[in-house]
Amino acid sequence: MNNPIMENQELDRKLIEAWNEKNLEKVMLLYWKGPELVLIPPDGKVWRGEEEVRRSYEELFSNSESIRLELTEASHWASGDSVVGSGCATLFLKEKGSSEQTLTVRFSDLRRKQNGKWVYVQDYALTMS
């Protein structure tokens, strides 16, 4: 496959699969390795670099009894050596000791190839009320 849009649709599929498995290692394989990596989850906290992003996901997964993410809309635009993605997802989240929440999440991200594979470099999400 040498189509950046299709390859990035596959990247989205892999991220959703890893989230739904609460598989930290699979998630981290999909992110940029280096200080340029930025994750801004819906709570607005900025996580920079691989170790901070790993810590963010460790906290999310360890504090969640169950988690399921469904992609409901996604668009991708190739620009030079990057792809910009945006869209919407539904997050079904049950934190330990709480009832399940259903959240609508909007996202925007920047992806680039690193070591021959597409990964997320910047990932920004916000929840809609």
Supply the DSSP string of the chain, one letter for each residue: ---HHHHHHHHHHHHHHHHHHT-HHHHHTTB--STT-EEE-TT---EEHHHHHHHHHHHHHHTEEEEEEEEEEEEEEEETTEEEEEEEEEEEEEETTS--EEEEEEEEEEEEEETTEEEEEEEEEEEE-
What is the fold, at CATH topology level, of the domain defined by 4-128?
Nuclear Transport Factor 2; Chain: A, (3.10.450)
Instruction: Please tell me the predicted confidence (pLDDT) of residue 2.
Output: 83
- Per-residue pLDDT, averaged over 42-68, amounts to 96
* pLDDT of 129 over the 90 cut: no
Residue-averaged pLDDT of the chain = 96
- Model confidence at 1: pLDDT above 80: no
At 49, the pLDDT band (50, 70, 90 cuts) reads very high
If you average pLDDT over residues 23-42, what whole number do you get?
A: 97
Domain locations along the chain? 4-128
Q: What local confidence, expressed as pLDDT, does residue 128 receive?
A: 85
- Read off the pLDDT of each residue in 24-34 and give the average, rounded to a whole number: 98
Dihedral sign from CA coordinates of 56, 128, 36, 3: positive
Determine if the pTM surpasses 0.85: yes
